Structure 1
Amino acid sequence: MLDLLHKKRVVDLTHLLLPGQEQYQLEVKPRLKRTGATGDIMSDVYFWSHVGTHVEVPLHFYADGKDTADLPLALFMGPAIRLDFRHKQVNEPITLSELQAAGDIQVGEHVILWEGRAHQYRTSQSHQRPYLSEEALEWLLTDRKMRLLGTDSSGFEVRGVSHFPNHRRLFKEDAAVLECLCNLEQIRHQHFYLIALPLPVRGLDACPVRAIAIEESDE
């Protein structure tokens, strides 16, 4: 069989999930008990849809929005670009000019905002982050035809507002958001291939994913 990952690097962008320790609840309980060292078991798993590294889809904001089963599989995989915004402060906007200067964003490419916030995951500072300006998001959606926005922080919404302009605009386009990424510093090249697949569950507004980056090996 052809090795599709020959001369490729794979970087895991997914936070380890710890049952009983997550901000958004996760519990794993065995349904059966083993009587010895071996024997099969099954588990009851309860989790909030936004636990860990996860994607959010239009149903998260719109009552008639698409769920994780409605959106095409191709939306959650494809060419991506990592843009370095680690210098941005809490509650500071990422502007259109800054976005355009950060890298050569190709039409249809997934855009990953590297904000340097992965270390805040599972801490009291987990929601302390910059945000994407409305103008920048509009340009990504209309000019660059972006349909998946990712970040290593907990969100992308304009801070200090109650009308959720970025949620309204992005999910109106049947786009998705990938939040709480990690290990972005391990990606060696600005452009890479992203895979972050949710479970196709009817009525699900968000879902934990196993997100990975695939890039050319330097060896």
Structure 2
Amino acid sequence: MGVELVDLSVPIVTGMPVYPGDPEVAAVPALTAAESGVNVLRLHLGSHTGTHVDAPFHLDDTLPRLDELPLTRFTGPAVVMDARGLPPRTPIGPDLLPGGLGPGVVLLVATGWSAKWGADDYLAHPYPAVETAEAIVAAGVRTVAVDALSVDRTPPPGADDFSLAVHRVLCRAGAVIGENLTGLDRLLDAQDAGCAIEVSLFPIALAGADAAPVRAVARVDDRAVLV
């Protein structure tokens, strides 16, 4: 196979799923080639639209904004945590953390919930427990991304048990958080085969932002087999 690039991003389209309360998404023609000689889209979306990254500033005004973080925080060798098969809204314990974690590593948490994208129960995803987030930070990891709506529990509609405890652990450590990834099953297969995996989560360059959409891409190389 050699090198394969794997797109880990959901497409941005009108009416796509958003976190409850976030701005709805619209991507509609502003100009058309037929009428104006060019095609131009008008976009209405929030900073947490689709596959995106959160800066620590998302949780605290005193913490770094997106453009204050080094670019190295958005790319690196990836290790994938297999947390598939858990019941809805189950905390993911530290016992599932894979080996190989350390500074500079991007931890990808595969819940399998990306298969439910667009369905009502996408909100019922598993999520890392607080002690798991603490173990991730203790290992030196500062980039964590998940194939689900949030790294925290998303409460059912109408429930009042909202918490951002995992966000707080990661953000206070200066970590970048990626959410709404897809395609992590392919990376688990590659990891099991011993392939080297690198991932990039570079955000749109929004000045002073709390978050921004990304084109998340993994580079899988079976010529650089890990031992």
Give the structure-1-normalised TM-score: 0.85
3-state SS of paired residue (1:25): coil
1:67-121 Cα shifts (integer Å, max 9, x gaps): 221111110100111111112222222212232xxx2123121111110100222
Matched, 1:113 2:118: no
Do 1:67 and 1:201's aligned partners in 2 also have CA atoms closer than 8 Å? no
Tell me the percent identity: 25
TM-score with structure 2 setting the length? 0.82
Residue 162 to residue 197, structure 1, CA distance change in 2 (3 Å): same
1:199 aligns with 2:200: no
Aligned residue runs from structure 1 range 54-69, under 5 A: 54-69=52-67
CA contact (8 A) 2:53 2:211 kept: yes
Q: Deviations over 1:178-209 (max 9, x none)?
A: 11111111223225100111022123211111
> Which runs of 5 or more residues in structure 2 are unaligned?
156-160
Conserved? CA contact 1:111–1:146, under 8 Å: yes
Distance 1:73 1:155 in 2: 22
Classify the secondary structure of the residue corresponding to 1:126: helix
Which residue, out of 127, 130, 133, partners 1:134? 130
What is the CA-CA distance between 1:162 and the residue it aligns to?
4.5
Do the aligned residues in 2 keep the contact of 1:158 with 1:165 (CA within 8 Å)?
A: no
Gaps of 5+ in 1: 1-5
Alignment of 1:45-84 (within 5 A): 45-84=43-82
Q: CA deviation at 1:43?
A: 3.2
Deviations 1:122-180 (A, max 9, x none): 221121111212222111102x1011111111111257755532122110111111111
> Deviation at 1:44?
2.5
Once the two structures are superposed, the pairs formed by residues 1-219 of structure 1 within 5 Å of their partners are: 7-23=2-18, 24-35=23-34, 39-99=37-97, 103-108=98-103, 109-142=105-138, 144-157=139-152, 161-162=161-162, 164-187=164-187, 188-190=189-191, 192-217=197-222
**What is the alpha-carbon root mean square deviation over aligned residues?**
2.2
Aligned length: 208
| Structure of higher RCO (CA pairs closer than 8 Å, 6+ residues apart) | 1
For residues 38-81 of structure 1, the C-alpha deviation after alignment (integer angstroms, 9 at most, x for no partner) is 93343332211111111111121112222221111110100111
